Amino acid sequence: MSMLHLVNKSPYERNSLSTCVGYVKAGDTLLLIEDGVYAAVKGGAAAAKLGGLDVSVLGPDLAARGIGEDKLIDGVKVVDYAAFVDLVEAKDKVQSWL
């Protein structure tokens, strides 16, 4: 069974991302939304935590925060709300790491 992990808080504010990565398994996807998108910024200390994971970032939340897609670490997929819905359907369940 696969899981969609949602992380909505900044990794510099809260430990949710740190805890979450210990729970991601093969076949799971980690979707960063709201303040969670900061984790995917290249050069940030938190970016290292995402290594080896299937990571997507919600585009509208990046744009709102003035983060250009060129500022993200490699391998991260930028998605819109429609793709967010598709991810919920594609995985068997959703875990919100608030």
Q: How far apart are CA 70 and CA 45, in angstroms?
A: 17
Indicate the SS3 state at residue 88: helix
- Would you state the structure tokens that stand for residue 74, as one six-digit string? 């490699």
The yes or no reply on residue 12 touching other proteins (CB under 8 A) is no
The yes or no reply on residue 54 touching other proteins (CB under 8 A) is no
The yes or no reply on residue 53 touching other proteins (CB under 8 A) is no
Are 32 and 56 in contact by the 8 Å Cβ rule? The answer is yes
Please name every residue paired with 3 in a beta bridge, in sequence order, or none if there are none. 93
The yes or no reply on residue 78 touching other proteins (CB under 8 A) is no
- Of 33, 37, 47, 50, the one binding other proteins by CB under 8 A: 33
Query: Where do contacts with other proteins occur on this chain (CB under 8 A)?
Result: 1, 3, 6, 8-9, 15-16, 19, 22-23, 25, 33-35, 60, 80-82, 84-86, 88-89, 92-98
